[in-house]
Amino acid sequence: MDLWKGPPDSGWDKAQEELAALGLTDGLPVVPPTQARVEAMLRSHGYAADGVVCNLAPLLQPASWRDIAINAVMAGCTPECLPVVGAALEAMAAPEFNLTGVSTTTGSAAPLVIVNGPVAARIGMNAAANALGPGNRANATIGRAVSLALRNIGGATPGELDMATLGQPAKYTCCFAENEAQSPWTPLHVERGHAAGDSVVTVVGVSGTVEVVDSVSSKGEDIAQTYAQSMLIAGTAGGAGFLGGGQPVIIMPPEQAESCSLAGYSKERLKAEIFERAWLAPEQLSPAVREHHAGRGGNTGPLRVAETAADILIVVAGGVGIKGAYAPNWGGGSRAVTRKVRW
């Protein structure tokens, strides 16, 4: 490596100190949201600065395009990413997402942002190798802008209203695009009622990810078995008697999805196979947890990962290999929400 040979920025360090002192950062350096940068971002889409996109919990503060642009600038977004950030925040403001719960729980809930449609390629998002990891500016900064906005507009400040016991890295950023080009199945946004050519954001409140590895199975039922058994985590048992809550997410690499498809498995059939296998007997819980569920009137039978097979979300993403992931839905009660991108 070599040193950067550009001109010195004498105000950078001071800006970082001032913004951190105001409580506006996430602990990492941010791009100073100067008037010129924010106005340029708004101008690129013709958004009215004072136009309100939504109200963000837990403080239910109005999020204007100017507010959203400020956080997008700080996160390092290019102007092209702003509509995706706005759509993600609008989706999170829907009642069924339960942003108050996701933002204030002592659990590790964080928003997962999934992008579908032409906008993903237009802004250069990564849907392939390392889609959940570092290295792509759009993925990283969109997720970060969402998190900064939830903190700076919605009021979810760690230790004040965000009461997470441990938290998780997804609280910094968690955003990727579906690998529609290499998927044998209907993409997520079409499943959820949108046209294939629509640009769409889906948000899910998740409690982390678990790697799922199966390098030998090629039959759909065998792959379903591996994913189902990987989802049986006693520590995700929620009050409603489910493991993790409403809509768990499976992120499946293209090779594995293709194996399932060649074996005659549609996404719906695979969901059904996983659902039938993904249950935990009450006897596998500790006696105290069993009594707790029974005392609250919860399910005293097998604990499943969702109420129905259709509630399982399967998204194809990633590059070469057979490493998938399971993202438990936050057990406090949250539903996935989808919104079109205004661009």
Res 55: pLDDT = 98
Q: For residue 318, what pLDDT is reported?
A: 98
Q: What is the pLDDT of residues 225-254, one digit of tens each?
A: 999 999 999 888 765 667 877 799 999 999
At 322, is the secondary structure helix, strand, or coil? coil
Chain centroid to Cα 103, Å, comes to 13
Query: What pLDDT score was predicted for residue 193?
Result: 97
What was the pLDDT predicted at 134?
97
Place of tokens 């590059």: 319
Q: In whole angstroms, what separates CA 59 from the centre of its chain? A: 21
Residue 282's pLDDT is 87
Residues of the chain below pLDDT 70: 238-241, 295-300
Q: Which of 326, 111, 68, 65 is nearest to 211 (CA)?
A: 326
3-state secondary structure of 249: strand
User: What is residue 223's predicted lDDT score, i.e. its pLDDT?
Assistant: 97
Q: What is the pLDDT of residue 238?
A: 65
pLDDT score at 172: 98
Cα separation, 298 vs 302, in Å, equals 11
Residues 6+ apart with CB under 8 A from 315: 114, 178, 188, 249, 250, 251, 252
Q: Write down the pLDDT at residue 297.
A: 59
pLDDT at 295: 67
Give residue 291's pLDDT. 83
Question: 65-75 vs 137-152: helix axis angle to the nearest 10?
Answer: 130
pTM: 0.96
Smallest CA-to-CA distance from 197 within 253, 141, 117 is with 117
65-75 helix and 82-92 helix, angle to the nearest 10 degrees? 120
pLDDT of 156 reads: 97
Q: Contact at 8 Å (CB) between 83 and 41? A: no
